[in-house]
Structure 1
Amino acid sequence: MENDLKDVQNSDGHVVVVGGGQAAAAVVRTLRAEGHRGGITMLSAERFGPYERPPLSKGVLLGTKVPADTVLLGAEHLAELEVAVHYGVTAQRIDRTNRLVYLDNGQSIGYDRLVIATGGRPRRLKLPGNATGEIAYLRTIDDALALRERMTRATRVLVLGGGWIGLETACCARELGLEVTLVEACTRLCERAVPPVVSDILLSRHRANGVDVRLATQIHGLNLVDGGTLRAAIGTEELEFDLVIAGVGMVANDELAAHAGMPCANGILCDAAGRTVDPDIFACGDVAAFTHPAGPASPARLESWDNAERQGAACALALLGKEASYSGLPWFWSEQGDTNLQILGYPEPLCIPVVRPQGGRLIFFWLKEGLIDAAICVDAPAEMLVIKRLVQKRVAVEAAQLCDPLLSLKSLLQSIPATDVVASG
């Protein structure tokens, strides 16, 4: 829905949400659910949304899903919520004194409360050679559609980066019948997110799937040669590809806040509910850097579906002056071909986990003072649901119980009294 940009004056005030992704959707839904009667304006730099991003590196890339399948709030729902959405506009500057947001179309919009949910963008590579501009990245629907079209014309694909985007993209390319080489500069896959034992599982599965995985290897140059072929200098070799895809991290879109004089450090510094140094400005989702109640002591961004949803809701409550809690453990999942991997909490890579075999599936637990502090499930999504409940109810467990495949995790939930209930991860 398109409205003229203008300040909306009423007793509840006008909320402007900069961003049109999942965190932004969670904010506007929660505002209305909690009784906010004032105006809500959403500013989306994209032509489509709000939508969720996980399907982009899976179903949309494979062609089993279309952009409409990713929609979180359709036009009718936005109309019901009375949210004015403006597509294809970018916020360029915030005037905090006069509470104005200046846009790239020359207009400005006033706010009583402002939410910055601008997410991030792929980290771009600069390589020696003449073909840096040929590298494909995946972040938006347009990126996914363009990459899928390029895959239909390719035979040999080079994936740069052994993180979640790189691995999921490599799986899609293999499912589409393409030859795939994956280059990772670190000594193992997903090194910053999972312990070595899980990295080894991922490596084994991707190699069994036909991906030529090269660890501790870097690309030194990329050139476009005759016929549109891309020649890459990898390690000590020069190899040719039809398509090069990079998934080497994300850069926070925090410039809007930084230019307004707000503290930023790889994201907008805020608390867990999105409160910033400015009482009228909040941040949430991939752009927010905060100290998670269950995480490390230093502020960090959480790039996940779960965080966008939960922090967006907490941000809306904080904005309304209501009690806004953000507790429990963070949750993340990745689908890589036939592999379903889920992470709960902050697994400590230097601590040896408790391992539970589960009929071909694997579960890893990290315990702290008799409670589950973190868990990783490989091909065990149903078990993760139970684990979340064990964490939620603070059920005391022993390593011997978790190691016993004959002992049902559900029985632990049913047989041990639950105390001190907290919010689920």
Structure 2
Amino acid sequence: MHPGMVIVGAGEAGARAAFALREQGWTGLVTLIGEEIHAPYERPPLSKAALVDEAHPTPRYIVGQERFAAEGVTHIADRAVTTIDRQMRHVGLNDGSTIAYDRLLLATGATPRRLPIPGADHAGCVTLRRFEDALHLRERFRPGARIAIIGGGFIGLELAASACQKGAEVTIIEALPRLLSRGVPAEIAGAVQERHRAAGVTILCGDGIAAIEDHGAGPAVRLASGKRIEADLAVLGVGAVPNTSLAQSAGLAVDNGIAVDDRLRTSDETIHAAGDCCSFPLPIYGGRRVRLESWRNAQEQGTHAAKAMLGSSEAFDAVPWFWSDQYDLSLQVAGLVDEGRQSVRRDGADGSFILFHLDDDARLVAASGIGPGNAIARDIRLAEMLIARRARPDAAALSDPQTRLKSLLAA
């Protein structure tokens, strides 16, 4: 039998790629291999709805098993790929079997970062990555429970909001001087911090973690300053590291993730990579190499990788986009904020605001905003379109709430 398309990793990127191959007309074999027992499911709800919804949660599946059968996609669950033989073009699984490939996609994702400190392996110090992790947190987030959240990034703050909504006593510990220090402006981080404090969350910034200790009923977080935070549960939310060991053992280039070109090809032209596991150049920012941990990036790269596996030469040139829902607030960022050199603020009537980030040539390179519900969603989407067009909109127009951003697209 002729080798087909093999995808390692059954998350967002891998699942999207499998069905995009069919949508693009590929009629040969498609095999999707994942380490989890579930069909591919969405991860964003794990830090939000799966923890706070009243009904007992189930995974929010990207596709159900019935579609695998309908589309002729083979899904191998509960198996790990342990080797890649690039010369023979096959992958080896942990059950001893091998699967030949014509083209291979690595969508191996990322793993929560562990802290290199004493006591980090304490039983009461956990991370969130899989559905079963969310079920465990759901049981522990209850009224009166003392929850220490280590890390003031997106995942840590979403977990803090969920724990607080369940009635827990929450402390956020961030080693850096402020929350959301990576990719989010200080003004927006300040609004997020104010909302958490209004909900009763204790926030400690600028103090590193020396060790995780035991106080009998759970973990105690000892800070560099000597302060000790006793908790019933400590949750690590300090970022993630790309899963590159399989690629490295196969001799593929690695640079803050599996290194790919603008067509998502690795250093072996028969192997592609997509999603959280890979770093790639962004043409919109002069080829700057980035690695993104983002639901939309995984989705878009999965689709783009499928096209590239079938011979497309189109460059991946999407505008990065992130979002986070906490309490009644939604935070969104389009583009890379650190590409900007000046910011223009637009205020909304409902307390929302958007910051437009311009480079030295007055080009719009990013937009970030925060507000209740969907207050900023439409304007962030329009800003994303302006960023993609490399537009240089008038700063006064950007700041004026009476100027419709859609009108700037026609300028």
* TM-score, normalising length: structure 2: 0.93
Post-superposition Cα deviations, 1:5-39, rounded to whole Å, max 9, x if no partner, equal: xxxx24xx401100000000111121001100100
Q: How does 1:271-420 map to 2 (within 5 A)?
A: 271-295=261-285, 297-348=287-338, 351-359=341-349, 360-368=351-359, 369-379=361-371, 380-392=376-388, 396-413=392-409, 416-417=410-411
Structure 1 residues 62-94: Cα deviation after superposition (integer angstroms, max 9, x where no partner)? 135765452111111111221111111001111
The answer (yes or no) to whether the contact 2:242–2:257 under 8 Å persists in 1 is: yes
CA separation of 1:348 and 1:44: change in aligned 2, threshold 3 A: same
Q: Is the contact made by 2:150 and 2:237 (CA closer than 8 Å) also made in structure 1?
A: yes
Q: Is the 8 A contact 2:340 2:357 kept in 1?
A: no
The alignment covers a number of residue pairs equal to: 404
Classify 1:195/1:349 alpha carbon distance in 2 versus 1 (closer, same or farther; 3 Å): farther
Deviations 1:151-182 (A, max 9, x none): 23861110000011100000001101111111
The amino acid across from 1:230 in the alignment is P
Q: How many Å separate the matches in 1 of 2:111 and 2:73?
A: 25
Does the C-alpha gap of structure 1 residues 94 and 394 become closer, same or farther in structure 2, counting only changes over 3 Å? closer
Shift of 1:306: 1.4
> 1:58 matched to which residue of 2?
48
Residue of structure 2 aligned with 1:27, choices 17, 29, 46:
17
- Give the alignment partner of residue 244 of structure 1, picking from 234, 243, 247: 234
Shift of 1:50: 1.1
Tell me how far apart the structure 2 counterparts of residues 153 and 210 of structure 1 sit (CA, whole Å).
13
Specify every segment of 5 or more residues in structure 2 that has no aligned partner in the other structure, as ranges: none
User: Which one-letter code corresponds to 2:343 in the other structure?
Assistant: P
Identical counterparts, % of pairs: 38
1:110 Cα offset (Å): 1.2
Question: Among residues 78, 91, 99, which one is paired with 1:88 in the alignment?
Answer: 78
Query: C-alpha separation between the residues in 2 aligned to 1:273 and 1:142?
Result: 34
Q: Give the structure 2 partner of residue 119 of structure 1.
A: 109
What is the SS of the residue equivalent to 2:269?
Answer: coil
Alignment of 1:146-225 (within 5 A): 146-152=136-142, 155-225=145-215
TM-score normalised per structure 1: 0.90
Uncovered stretches (5+) of structure 1, i.e. residues with no partner? 1-8, 418-425
* Offset, 1:365: 0.3
Partner of 1:421: none
Name the aligned partner's letter for residue 213 of structure 1: I
Indicate the larger mover: 387-396 or 234-243: 387-396
Equivalent position of 1:78 in the other structure? 68
Shift of 1:394: 5.5
Residues of 1 paired with 2:120 and 2:239: CA distance? 22
Q: In 1, are the aligned partners of 2:339 and 2:366 still within 8 Å (CA)?
A: no
Q: Tell me by how many angstroms 1:220 deviates.
A: 1.8
From 251, 265, 269, the counterpart of 1:261:
251
Q: Is the 8 A contact 1:154 1:243 kept in 2?
A: no
Pair 1:342–1:384, CA change in 2 (3 A): same
The one-character-per-residue Cα deviations of 1:297-324 (angstroms, maximum 9, x if unpaired) are 5533111011111111111111101233
CA distance in 1, matches of 2:197, 2:113: 26
CA RMSD of aligned residues (A): 2.0
Determine the structure 2 residue equivalent to 1:135.
Answer: 125
